[in-house]
C-alpha cells in the first residue's frame, strides 16, 4: 500500500512538471536579482521600482535586463516585487538592445507546491480513500472541462448538459469512493433528486426575474472581447446545478449511512420510525450544511455587498439589481435543493431496507 501510494504521488508530480513546464512564446520567465524602490512623496499609492531581472528561458537565457515599473496600490498589478521573485516578462529587441516589461508575477510554482501539499495530506490521512477521492475529483474536472464546457460552446442546452454532467459526476464519485452497493445507489438517487430540484427552481425564478446572465464582468468580456455567443441564462442555471452537487452528495450519503446503521442496530424497526429517525438526523445535518452553502455563496460576492452597503442606495433597490439577484437565486435554490434531498433520501433509504432483516449484506 505504501509503495503504491508513493508511486502515484511520483507520477502526479512528474505529470505536473510536464504540464507546468510549457512556456508561452510571447512571455518568458525571469528571476528578479535586485530591486530599487522609489516611493513617491506626492502620492503614497503610486511607487516606482527599478528592477534587474535574469532571463530564465528562451534565446536570451541568462541575460540580465533592467526594467522600470510603476506600482499603483489599487490596480491588478499593485504588488511590490522583491529579490528572488519569478516574473513573466515580455521582451523587446530594438537595434540589438534588449528591453522588456513585466507582465505579471509567476505564481505557478507556489500553486504547484500548494497542490503537492494537498495531495500529500490527502494520501497520508485518507490512504486509499484519499486516493479514490482524488481520482473522483480529477474525473469531475475532466467532465466539466472535456464535456460540459465544449458541449455548451457547441450550442447544446446548458441546463440539460449540466444535469447530465451532475449525474455522471455523482455516479462515478460515489462508486469510486464507496463502491457499487445498495447504499451507494440510494445516495445517488437522493443526490440526483436534490440537484434536479435546485435546477428546476433556478429555471423558474431566473425566468420570473428576467435574469439575462450578462451582468457579470467575465461574461461581458466573453461577449465583447471574445465574441462568444451562448445562452448565458442557461449557462448560469447550469452553474447553479454544478455548484450544488458537492454538498448534496455529502448530505445524501450521510443520511443513507445513518438509516442503514439504525436498521442494523434495530432490525425490527418499522418504516415510519426509520423514516422519522432519518428526518431527525437530517435536520441536524441541514442546519450546518445550509449555513455552509449560503456562507460560501455570500463569500463569493462579498465585494458586491461592500459596494452596495457602502453606498446610499436603498436596500431593496440594491437586491433588485441583477448582480445581487443572481447570487440570491443561486444561494436559495442551492439550499432548497439541499433541503429537499433530505426527505427524499430518507424515504428511499427507509423504504429500501425496512423489510430486510439482514441489512449488513446490502452495505
> Can you list the domains of the chain with their CATH numbers?
2-106 (2.40.50), 127-362 (1.20.1640)
CB 242 within 8 A of CB 162: yes
| Residue 21 pLDDT | 47
Task: Enter the C-alpha cell of residue 286.
Answer: 441541514
Rounded CA separation 102/81 (Å): 10
Helix (H) or strand (E) holding 9: helix 2-21
- How far, in Å, are 112, 115, 120, 126 from residue 9 at the CA level? 13, 11, 8, 13
Strands 86-94, 64-72: parallel, antiparallel or unpaired by DSSP?
unpaired
Rounded CA separation 80/37 (Å): 9
- How far, in Å, are 19, 155, 310, 325, 330 from residue 304 at the CA level? 35, 31, 10, 11, 15
CB 294 within 8 A of CB 331: yes
| Residue 5 pLDDT | 43
| Residues in the chain where the model's pLDDT stays below 50 | 1-23, 362
Residue 101 φ/ψ, nearest 5 degrees: -135, 150
| Residue 344 pLDDT | 92
| Residue 111 pLDDT | 87
Closest listed residue to residue 344, CA positions, set 244, 237, 199, 196: 196
Q: What is the pLDDT of residues 138-184, one digit of tens each?
A: 888 888 888 888 888 787 877 788 888 888 888 888 888 878 888 88
- How far, in Å, are 103, 340, 345 from residue 29 at the CA level? 10, 51, 52
Residue 103 φ/ψ, nearest 5 degrees: -85, -45
Amino acid at each position: 500500500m505504501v509503495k503504491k501510494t508513493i508511486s502515484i504521488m511520483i507520477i502526479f508530480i512528474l505529470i505536473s512538471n510536464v504540464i507546468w513546464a510549457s512556456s508561452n512564446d510571447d512571455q518568458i520567465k525571469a528571476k528578479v536579482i535586485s530591486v530599487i524602490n522609489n516611493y513617491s512623496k506626492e502620492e503614497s499609492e503610486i511607487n516606482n521600482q527599478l528592477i534587474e531581472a535574469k532571463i530564465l528561458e528562451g534565446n536570451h537565457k541568462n541575460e540580465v535586463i533592467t526594467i522600470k515599473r510603476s506600482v499603483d496600490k489599487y490596480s491588478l498589478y499593485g504588488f511590490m516585487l522583491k529579490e528572488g521573485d519569478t516574473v513573466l516578462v515580455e521582451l523587446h529587441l530594438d537595434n540589438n538592445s534588449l528591453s522588456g516589461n513585466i507582465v505579471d508575477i509567476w505564481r505557478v510554482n507556489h500553486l504547484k507546491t500548494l497542490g503537492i501539499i494537498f495531495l500529500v495530506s490527502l494520501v497520508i490521512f485518507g490512504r486509499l480513500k484519499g486516493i479514490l477521492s482524488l481520482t473522483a475529483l480529477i474525473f469531475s474536472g475532466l467532465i466539466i472541462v472535456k464535456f460540459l464546457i465544449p458541449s455548451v460552446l457547441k450550442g447544446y442546452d446548458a441546463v440539460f448538459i449540466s444535469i447530465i454532467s451532475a449525474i455522471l459526476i455523482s455516479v462515478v464519485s460515489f462508486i469510486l469512493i464507496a463502491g457499487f452497493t445498495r447504499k451507494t445507489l440510494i445516495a445517488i438517487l437522493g443526490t440526483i433528486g436534490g440537484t434536479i430540484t435546485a435546477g428546476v427552481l433556478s429555471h423558474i425564478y431566473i425566468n420570473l426575474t428576467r435574469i439575462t446572465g450578462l451582468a457579470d464582468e467575465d461574461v461581458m468580456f466573453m461577449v465583447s472581447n471574445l465574441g462568444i455567443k451562448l445562452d448565458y441564462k442557461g449557462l448560469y442555471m447550469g452553474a447553479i446545478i454544478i455548484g450544488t452537487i458537492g454538498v448534496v452528495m455529502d448530505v445524501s450519503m450521510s443520511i443513507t449511512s445513518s438509516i442503514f446503521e439504525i436498521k442494523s442496530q434495530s432490525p425490527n424497526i418499522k418504516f415510519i420510525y426509520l423514516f422519522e429517525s432519518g428526518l431527525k438526523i437530517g435536520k441536524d445535518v441541514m442546519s450546518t450544511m445550509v449555513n455552509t452553502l449560503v456562507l460560501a455563496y455570500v463569500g463569493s460576492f462579498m465585494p458586491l455587498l461592500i459596494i452596495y452597503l457602502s453606498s446610499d442606495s436603498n436596500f431593496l433597490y440594491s437586491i433588485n439589481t441583477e448582480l445581487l439577484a443572481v447570487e440570491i437565486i443561486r444561494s436559495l435554490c442551492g439550499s432548497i435543493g439541499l433541503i429537499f434531498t433530505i426527505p427524499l433520501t430518507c424515504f428511499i433509504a427507509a423504504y429500501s431496507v425496512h423489510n430486510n432483516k439482514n441489512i449488513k449484506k446490502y452495505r
